[in-house]
Structure 1
Amino acid sequence: MDALTDLLDGPRARGAFMLRSSLNPPWSMRIQDEAPLTLVAMVRDEAWVIPDSGPPERVRPGDVMIIRGPEPYTVASGPRIEPQIVIVPGQRCTTPDGTSLSEAMDLGVRAWGNDPDGSAVMLTGTYQMRGAVTQRLLAALPALAVVRGGTWRSPLVGLLGEEIGKDEPGQEVVLDRLLDLLLIAALRAWFSRPQAEKPGWYRAHGDAVVGPALRLLHDDLAHPWTVSGLAARVGVSRAALAQRFGKLIGEPPMAYLTGVRLAQAADLLRESDATLEAVARQVGYGNAFALSAAFKRERGISPQEYRAGAATA
């Protein structure tokens, strides 16, 4: 298992918000839904994405936008159009003065907009949960990443467009999995660009020493790893592994492993009802006490407090 697989194998889309928007210009939407991650695929016409911090980006058919939250942003048919629609938490839409637009812009099953035959068509998929492993991935992304249609090929946008309007048994699960696949494909395309500022764990995947070490760590978090034991498995000296790992990843092997373990533990606490003892053993801690001590040292609260806060949220 590689680092990207591990990051995406934790919190998967579950009940993600999915929508096909049809709009005639001029239109402008202020997105204030506080979602941690949103994908927008431009199917027809063009649009502008205007982050609160950063320059506006023009997007064309075939482009896919990866938008990191929870900061607000604007999507519009032009860069200087004042928002007419505001999207708030819960994916409710209103006018800027708070009047509901949900009924007026409802065009059917997961269809929305000001005209069913609008010139602009977009597919939107929004991840609603905030998992700790996802945060490690989000930290490697800019506020807005645009994967240009001319730089990659994928049938997923077309398939998502076909499925998004269906209302059949199990449809939410189908759409969740398609969104996951589209996210993975878009991330791979984004990080594969020649000019991409890849995170250390992504660059290290292809390294002859650190790549195998990362795969060993991610493949078996519960193993009682040491630097010496990991170096022996990779076939290099302890000093060589530590130096190479620190140079590429930016932290020592055991510090990296601790961060991944605690992130996985946070996801399990948030998304499952497993006991603290079971979570501890699954992520490589001998018992609940050892996990609690490490978790509180890292996050400032106990695992029980974290789980209670996540349930309340």
Structure 2
Amino acid sequence: MDALAGLLEGPRARGAFMIRACFDPPWCIRVEDRAPLTIMLVVRGEAWVMPDGQERTLLRAGDLAIARGPDPYTCADSPATEPQAVILPGGECAYPDGRSLKGHRDLGVRSWGDRPDGSTVLLIGTYLMQGEITGRLLDALPPLLSLTSREWKCPLTPILAEEIVRDEPGQEVVLDRLLDLLVIAALRAWFSRPEAEAPAWYRALADPVVGRVLRLVQDDPAHPWTVASLAAKAGVSRAALARRFTELVGEPPMAYLTGWRLALAADRLRDSADTIGAIAHQVGYGSAFALSTAFKRVYGVSPQEHRTGGAPTVPRGTVT
């Protein structure tokens, strides 16, 4: 499993917040939902996306933007337009003065705004959960990234536009999978750009030696890997692997393996009912005690506390 696959193999979209937003100018929406990731695709018209304290971006028809949470941002027809609504956690909507907007501006199935055929139409998908594997990827993203229609053609746009307004059995699952496909395709396109400043571990996947080692530990974290066994698989000496891996990834092979194992454990603690002992064996630890010791050293809480919601969002000392 490579790092991009980890985005989907960890906490995949489950009941993601999906909406077709339709506006006529002037319009302005303040987003304070603290969601880990939101993707916006402009179907018609244009929209300014303005993260607090960051450079603003103008999106035109066919353009796409991804906002990394939890910091707030504003979407509007113009930077000068004052907010007319605030999006809160859980997709709740309110007027800027705090009064509830529930039920107001509803336009039908997953549609919201001024009128269904508004001059600006955006398709918006929001992930509501974040896991530790996902965090390694999200931490590498800027607060806002964008791709223009000239840089990337999105074949999923007409499919998503058609599916988002359907109300049929199983439709949430269909939309979740479409959102996953859209995000992974957009991130692949983004990371392929030199100016994207992809994280070291992502760039290292292209290296014939380090890339092979990364895939080995990602695909089989439970294997009792050592620097010697990884070096043998890569066809280099232990010293050469340690030097090259540290230079390209930013940490030694065993440190990366430990971080990957604990990230997997963190996800499985939240997303499965497996015992701590079973999870320990799945990710390469000999016992629940061994996993608990390593987990608490990095995350600051025990696996059980993490499972019940007591873990920090960012591991202590993690290199991303």
| TM-score bin, normalised by smaller chain | over 0.9
Deviations 1:54-87 (A, max 9, x none): 1111111111111000111100000111101101
Shift of 1:247: 0.8
Shift of 1:150: 0.8
Instruction: Give the whole-Å Cα distance in 2 for the aligned partners of 1:53 and 1:127.
Output: 23
Shift of 1:24: 0.4
What corresponds to 1:65 in structure 2? 65
Instruction: Give the whole-Å Cα distance in 2 for the aligned partners of 1:187 and 1:241.
Output: 29
Asked if residue 4 in structure 1 is aligned to residue 1 in structure 2, the reply is no
Q: What amino acid sits opposite 1:47 in the alignment?
A: A
Instruction: Give the whole-Å Cα distance in 2 for the aligned partners of 1:287 and 1:254.
Output: 19
Q: What amino acid sits opposite 2:39 in the alignment?
A: L
What corresponds to 1:143 in structure 2? 143
Asked if residue 285 in structure 1 is aligned to residue 297 in structure 2, the reply is no
Asked if residue 186 in structure 1 is aligned to residue 191 in structure 2, the reply is no
Task: Describe the SS at the equivalent of 1:96.
Answer: coil
Instruction: Give the whole-Å Cα distance in 1 for the aligned partners of 2:163 and 2:7.
Output: 26
Q: What amino acid sits opposite 2:218 in the alignment?
A: H
What corresponds to 1:227 in structure 2? 227
Deviations 1:79-104 (A, max 9, x none): 11110110111111111111222312
What corresponds to 1:156 in structure 2? 156
Instruction: Give the whole-Å Cα distance in 1 for the aligned partners of 2:36 and 2:194.
Output: 27
- Ranges of 4+ aligned residues in structure 1 off by more than 4 Å: none
Q: What amino acid sits opposite 2:131 in the alignment?
A: G
Cα contact 1:3–1:215 (8 A) shared by 2: no
Cα distance change, pair 159–218 in 1 and its aligned pair in 2 (3 A): same
What corresponds to 1:29 in structure 2? 29
What corresponds to 1:268 in structure 2? 268
Task: Describe the SS at the equivalent of 1:309.
Answer: coil
Deviations 1:111-145 (A, max 9, x none): 11112221000000000012111111111100001
Q: Structure 1 unaligned runs (5+)?
A: none
Could you tell me the percent identity over the aligned residues?
63
Cα contact 2:264–2:283 (8 A) shared by 1: yes
Task: Describe the SS at the equivalent of 1:149.
Answer: coil
Shift of 1:7: 3.8
Deviations 1:263-300 (A, max 9, x none): 11111111111110111111111110000000000011
What corresponds to 2:132 in structure 1? 132
Q: What amino acid sits opposite 1:289 in the alignment?
A: F
Instruction: Give the whole-Å Cα distance in 1 for the aligned partners of 2:69 and 2:48.
Output: 17
Shift of 1:194: 2.8
Instruction: Give the whole-Å Cα distance in 2 for the aligned partners of 1:310 and 1:104.
Output: 36
Q: Structure 2 unaligned runs (5+)?
A: 314-320
Q: What amino acid sits opposite 1:39 in the alignment?
A: I
Instruction: Give the whole-Å Cα distance in 2 for the aligned partners of 1:206 and 1:22.
Output: 42
Cα distance change, pair 11–310 in 1 and its aligned pair in 2 (3 A): farther
What corresponds to 2:316 in structure 1? none
Instruction: Give the whole-Å Cα distance in 2 for the aligned partners of 1:111 and 1:119.
Output: 14
Cα contact 1:2–1:218 (8 A) shared by 2: yes
Shift of 1:8: 2.9
What corresponds to 1:198 in structure 2? 198
TM, length-normalised to structure 2:
0.95
Q: Give the length in aligned residue pairs.
A: 312
Instruction: Give the whole-Å Cα distance in 2 for the aligned partners of 1:72 and 1:2.
Output: 30
What corresponds to 1:119 in structure 2? 119
Asked if residue 75 in structure 1 is aligned to residue 75 in structure 2, the reply is yes
Q: What amino acid sits opposite 2:186 in the alignment?
A: A
Cα contact 2:3–2:137 (8 A) shared by 1: no
Output aligned runs, 1:81-120, within 5 Å: 81-120=81-120
Shift of 1:310: 5.9
Task: Describe the SS at the equivalent of 1:71.
Answer: coil
Cα contact 2:6–2:134 (8 A) shared by 1: no
What corresponds to 1:255 in structure 2? 255
